[in-house]
Structure 1
Amino acid sequence: MILVLLLNLLLFIFRLFYILYYPVDLSPEEAQYWDWSRHLDLSYYSKPPMVAYLNFLTTKLLGNTELAVRITPMILSFVLSILTYIFVRRIFGPRVALVCATLPQITVGYSINSLLMTTDAPFVFFWSLSVMAIHTAFEKNEKKLWILVGILSGLAFLSKYPAVFLLPITLLYMAFIRKDLLMSPSPYLSLIPAFILSLPVFIWNYQHGFVSFKHVSTLASKSDSLIELSGALEFLGGQALLLSILPFLVLLYAWLKSLKDRKLVFFTFYSLPVFLFFLILSFHKRVEANWAGFSYFSGFILVSYFLSRSFLLIPSYLLSFVLFIFLHFTPLFDIFKITPLLPPERDPTKFLVGWKDLGKRVSQLYTGSEMIFSPQYQVSAELAFYVKGNPRTYCVNLGRRMNQYDLWKEGMENYIGKSAIFVSVGPAEKRVLSAFGGIIKEEIYKVIWRGKEVRTFYIYKLKDYRGLEESLPMGY
C-alpha cells in the first residue's frame, strides 16, 4: 500500500508541475466545459452537467486558472488508483493489486484522463466505482449496497451518457451467471437513486426539445458507407495505443481465458461488451478512440491478473513508460530524429498550444465593451478563458451543426451599434463583414509548434454592428 501511495503521489506531483510549467494551454473541450461552469444548468447540449459542476467548485476555490480546471482529473485519478488497489487486493491479492494500481496510470489513455478535464475524467471515476460497488453487491446482495450502486451509477450518468451500459450489462450478467438474483428485489432498488439523479437531465432535455438525445443518436448513426474496414482498423489501433500496446494484447488473451473462470468473468462482462459494441459501430462510422476507454477499468483488472505472473510484466511497464514520456513531451520525436512517427501536423498536442497567445492578441484589441465572437465554438470557448477579464463570448452559426453556444444567443442584440472582435480559423465571410460598418483592424496569427505552422487565426476588429443573419444548424 505504501508503494502504491508513493508512486501515485509522484505522478500527482509530476502532473502538477506539468500543468504549471509546460507550455500547453487548455484544450478547446476543456475551455468549453469551463465556460459551461459559468452558466450552471440542469444539463447541456452534448453532455450531462457533472463536468460543469466540478469546474464550478474548483474555479471558485482556485480562480479561473489552468490548474483550477485540471486539478479535478488529477485528484480523481489519484483517489481511484488507491481504491482500485484496495478492491483488487481483496479479490486477487497484493501482487495483482499493485500492478492494477500503477500500470494503468502510465498508459496513454489513463494519462490523458488524469490530466485533461474532459467529461471522461469524472465518468471513468464514477463508472469504476460503480463496477466495484456492483461486484461487492453481487457478493453480499445487501439492499444498502444496491442503493450505493444506484447512487454511483447516477453520478456516472451525470458525467457521460454511456453510463447506460451499466444496466444491460448487469442484467446480462445476472441472466448468465447470477440467475439466483434475477428474482431478488434487492438489485432493482439501484434503479431508484439512479433514476432520481438522472431526472434533471431528462427535465432539461424536455425543455430543450431533447437535443442531447438527438445529438447522441446522430453520433451513433451518421455513416458515410455501409461497411468500412479502415474504420475498424483505426479503432483497433486507437485502442491498442490507449492501453500502450502490450496491455491491449494481453487483454485480448485475458478476455478469452476468463470465460471459463467464474472469478474473472465478471470483469469480462463489464469490459468486452462495450469494446464489441464500439468495434461493430466502427465498421459503419468513425469511432473516437476514447469512446470505449471507460470499459478498460475492468479490462485492466484482467490484464493485471495475467501480467502479474507473466514475463511481459516488465516490458509492459517499460513500453508504457516510454509512451508516457513521449506523450507528454512530443518535441522528443524531433530531438531523437523520429519526427515521421508523429509529425507536428498529426501531433494531438497541437490542439493545446497557441490559445493563450491568441487570447493576448485579442486582449490588446479589447477595451471591455466590444462583442467577441467566432463561428467556431472552440475559438469562442478559448477566448472566454484567455482574453483578459474572461468576457462573455458568442458563437455564430455560419453553416455547421448545433452546439451549446447556439442556446446562448441572448445578449448579442445589446451590441447593435457597437464594435466587435471576430476571430476565425479562416478569413471572414462576406455576410460577417456586411453586418458591420467597416474594419478597424485585421491581422493574422499563425501558431507554430515543433517548428511547423499548425494553425492560423484571422482576427478582425469591426465597427458599428448592425445584426448578423445566421444559418440554421446543419444537424445535431
Structure 2
Amino acid sequence: MFFIKPFEVNTKTKIMVNRFQTNLMQRNKVHSSYDWTNADIFTLIALICLLTVRLFAIYVTPLELGVDEAQYWVWSQDLSLGYYSKPPLIAWIIWITHAAIGHSSFGVRIFAPITHFLITLILWKCACQLYGDSARAPRIGRITALLWVLMPAVSLGSSVISTDTPMLLFWCLALYLILPSNSVTYLSARNYLLTGFIIGFALLSKYAAGYFLICAGLWLMSAHVSSYSKRFLCFVTLTIGSIIILSPNLIWNFNNGLVTIIHLSENANINQPSYSFIELKKFWEAQFFVFGPLSLIFFFVGMFKWEKHSLFLLCFSLPILLIISIQAYIKEANANWAVAAYPAATLLVAGWLGNFSKQTLSAITIFVNSVISITVISIVITGHLGKLTPESDPLRRVRGWHALSTDLGMQIDLNKAKTIIADRRATAAILKWYFFNEPVNITIYDDDKKPGNHFELKFSYNSEFPSPIIAITQNQMEPSIAGIEWNGLMGTSNHQIARDEYRNYYFYLGSN
C-alpha cells in the first residue's frame, strides 16, 4: 500500500494535467484564430479611412450640439457619481475630451467615432475567436467588422455623443471575455468576475447594460458546458462584479432620493399602458434603420439555420428584442433601446453569410449599409438632408441655437444682466453651452418645486440670484414668477430651423 498510494496520486495528477492541457489547447486554438491575409489588411485600412472621414465630418459639420449632448456636457462640468436621468460615465468621458480638445462640438463628440472603431475591432476579434475552428473564420471576421461599422445606428452614433456608445464598448468587451466558454467545457468564475467588472462600467454608461445579466443567465442555464453548480457560481460572480463597479452610483441614488430610478420608471411609463400593436409595428419598422434592412432580414433567417454557436448568440440578442418589443406594445419604445442586441446579432448574421462559397449576399448587404453610411456622412458634413428632407425635418433640433445665443448675448450686454431664467430644460442646456465661462447665471424656473429634470434639480431659480434678470421663453406673456417685477418685452429671437419652421423666443427684463 505504501508504494501504491503515490502511484494512485500520480495517476490522478496526470489525468488532471492532461485535462488541463486539453482545455488549454482548445482555448489556444480558439485564440490563435488565423494569420492575417491581404484581405484582412485591406479591410483594416478601409476601417481606418472610414474613421478618418467620420472624424473630419464631425469637425466641419455646421450642425450644432443637440439638447442631450449639451446636457451631457453640462454634467461634465460638475463631475459626480450620478445624474438625474443617466449614470455618470458619459459625463466623465466628455470631461476628458473637452479638456483635451477645447470648447467645441468636436471636443464633445470625438469619443463617438473612435469608440465605434474600437468596437468594430473587438467584434472582428470575437468573430475570429467564435468561428476560429472553421476555415471560413477570416471571411466571417471581415464581414462582421464591415456589417458593424456600416450599420445605420453606428453611422449615426459616430456623429453624436450618446450613452449607447460607451455602453456598447464595454458590452462587446464583456462578450469577448466569455466567448471561450462557448467552445470549451471549462468555465472560469474568475473570468466571469472580470466580465462583471466590465459590465459594471457598461452599467455606469447606461442601465440598459443590465440586459447582459439576463442574457448571460439564459446562456448559462441552457448551455451544457459544465455542472449546474459551476454555471451558477459563474452567474453569481458576474452579478457581484457588476454590482461592485456600479455601487458608487447606487449609493449616489440612495443619497439623492432615487431620482434616476424614478425617472426611468416614468420614462417607461408602463403605469398607463396603451397595448398598441401600432407602437410595436413602429418599433420594428425602426429596427430596419437601426440594424440595416437586409441585416435584420438575414438575422431572422439565420435564427433558423442552427449552428454550433447559434444558442450563444441568440441568448445575447433575442431576449433584448423581446423585452423591448413588449415595452413597445405596452406603451412605446425608442428605436435605440434594443441596440445592445446587435453585437451578437451581427456575429450571427456574419456567420450565416460567411457560409456561402459565393459572397453575393454579404456584398449586397454591405453595399446597402455603405450607401446609408455615406448618406449619413454627407448629411453631417453639409448640415441638411437635401432631397431626402421630410415634412418634419429632424435636423431642426440641431439648428438655430447659436443664433439664439447671439441674440440673447446682445441683450445681456445691453442690460448688464446677471441671471437668465429659461423656461425649459432644452433651452437651459443649450444656453449653458454657449455661455460657458461667461459671468451670467443660467437657471430654470421650477413652478411646482418638484424637480423633473437635472436643471430643476441643480439650477432652479431662487431669489438669491442677482438682478438684472432676463427671462427667455417661447410664450408671448411674461412668466409668472413670485418676487420678480417685470419691465416688459425687451426683444425677440426668430430664426428659421427648417423649411417651414421657425424657432421664436421672447426676452423679458426684470428684477427681484
| Same fold (TM > 0.5) | yes
Q: Give the aligned partner of residue 379 of structure 1.
A: 427
Farther off after superposition, 284-293 or 98-107? 98-107
Secondary structure of the equivalent of 1:170? helix
Structure 2 residue 263 is matched with structure 1 residue 215: yes
Whole-Å separation in 2 of the counterparts to 1:461 and 1:389: 23
Q: What's the offset of the Cα at 1:181?
A: 4.6
Whole-Å separation in 2 of the counterparts to 1:6 and 1:296: 24
Cα pair 1:108 1:243 within 8 Å, conserved: yes
Structure 2 residue 150 is matched with structure 1 residue 150: no
Farther off after superposition, 298-307 or 182-191? 182-191
Q: Give the aligned partner of residue 187 of structure 2.
A: 141
Query: Which runs of 5 or more structure 1 residues have no equivalent in the other structure?
Result: 467-476
Q: Give the aligned partner of residue 30 of structure 2.
A: none
Higher Rg: 2
Structure 2 residue 317 is matched with structure 1 residue 271: yes
Query: What is the one-letter code of the residue matched to 1:20?
Result: Y
Query: What is the one-letter code of the residue matched to 1:103?
Result: L
Structure 2 residue 98 is matched with structure 1 residue 59: yes
Alignment size in residue pairs: 455
Structure 2 residue 364 is matched with structure 1 residue 315: yes
Percent sequence identity is 23
Q: What's the offset of the Cα at 1:72?
A: 0.9
Query: What is the one-letter code of the residue matched to 2:244?
Result: I
Secondary structure of the equivalent of 1:413? coil
Cα pair 1:96 1:304 within 8 Å, conserved: yes
Deviation string 1:86-142 (CA, Å, 9 cap, x unpaired) is 221222211111111122222211112222111111111111211221223554523
1:51-450 equivalences under 5 Å are: 51-92=90-131, 93-137=137-181, 139=184, 140-178=186-224, 180-184=226-230, 185-222=233-270, 225-257=273-305, 260-308=306-354, 309=356, 311-330=360-379, 335-336=386-387, 339=388, 342-345=389-392, 347-367=393-413, 369-387=417-435, 389=437, 392-398=441-447, 402-409=452-459, 412-416=462-466, 418-432=467-481, 435-439=484-488, 441-449=490-498
Q: What's the offset of the Cα at 1:324?
A: 2.2
Whole-Å separation in 2 of the counterparts to 1:334 and 1:89: 38
Query: What is the one-letter code of the residue matched to 1:157?
Result: L
Cα pair 1:43 1:204 within 8 Å, conserved: yes
Q: Give the aligned partner of residue 31 of structure 2.
A: none
Farther off after superposition, 388-397 or 228-237? 388-397
Query: What is the one-letter code of the residue matched to 1:249?
Result: I
Q: What's the offset of the Cα at 1:64?
A: 2.0
Whole-Å separation in 2 of the counterparts to 1:3 and 1:454: 46
Deviation string 1:189-208 (CA, Å, 9 cap, x unpaired) is 23333111111111111111
Farther off after superposition, 437-446 or 166-175? 437-446
- Give the ranges of 4+ consecutive aligned residues of structure 1 lying more than 6 Å apart after TM superposition: 331-334
Query: What is the one-letter code of the residue matched to 1:436?
Result: E
Secondary structure of the equivalent of 2:110? helix
Whole-Å separation in 2 of the counterparts to 1:43 and 1:181: 39
Q: What's the offset of the Cα at 1:224?
A: 5.2
Cα pair 1:373 1:396 within 8 Å, conserved: yes
1:461-476 equivalences under 5 Å are: 461-464=508-511, 466=512
TM-score (norm 1): 0.88
Q: Give the aligned partner of residue 7 of structure 1.
A: 46
Deviation string 1:248-284 (CA, Å, 9 cap, x unpaired) is 1111212233xx3332221111011100111111112
Q: What's the offset of the Cα at 1:447?
A: 2.8
1:429/1:229 CA distance change after superposition, 3 Å: farther
Query: What is the one-letter code of the residue matched to 1:350?
Result: R
Cα pair 1:128 1:297 within 8 Å, conserved: yes
Whole-Å separation in 2 of the counterparts to 1:435 and 1:453: 36
Cα pair 1:344 1:454 within 8 Å, conserved: no
1:291/1:453 CA distance change after superposition, 3 Å: same
Q: What's the offset of the Cα at 1:320?
A: 1.5
Whole-Å separation in 2 of the counterparts to 1:99 and 1:178: 29
Deviation string 1:206-231 (CA, Å, 9 cap, x unpaired) is 11111211111222233655421110
1:48/1:334 CA distance change after superposition, 3 Å: closer
TM-score (norm 2): 0.83
Whole-Å separation in 2 of the counterparts to 1:147 and 1:170: 13
Cα pair 1:359 1:388 within 8 Å, conserved: no
Query: What is the one-letter code of the residue matched to 1:33?
Result: Y
Farther off after superposition, 201-210 or 141-150? 141-150
Q: Give the aligned partner of residue 6 of structure 2.
A: none
Cα pair 2:199 2:242 within 8 Å, conserved: yes
1:189/1:322 CA distance change after superposition, 3 Å: same
Q: What's the offset of the Cα at 1:352?
A: 1.6
Q: Give the aligned partner of residue 474 of structure 1.
A: none
Whole-Å separation in 1 of the counterparts to 2:234 and 2:187: 7
Cα pair 1:254 1:303 within 8 Å, conserved: yes
1:249/1:11 CA distance change after superposition, 3 Å: same
Secondary structure of the equivalent of 1:431? coil
Cα pair 1:425 1:458 within 8 Å, conserved: yes
Secondary structure of the equivalent of 2:504? strand
Whole-Å separation in 1 of the counterparts to 2:191 and 2:419: 52
Deviation string 1:351-410 (CA, Å, 9 cap, x unpaired) is 122222222222222347521231221111111112363555222235798111121136
Q: What's the offset of the Cα at 1:462?
A: 1.1
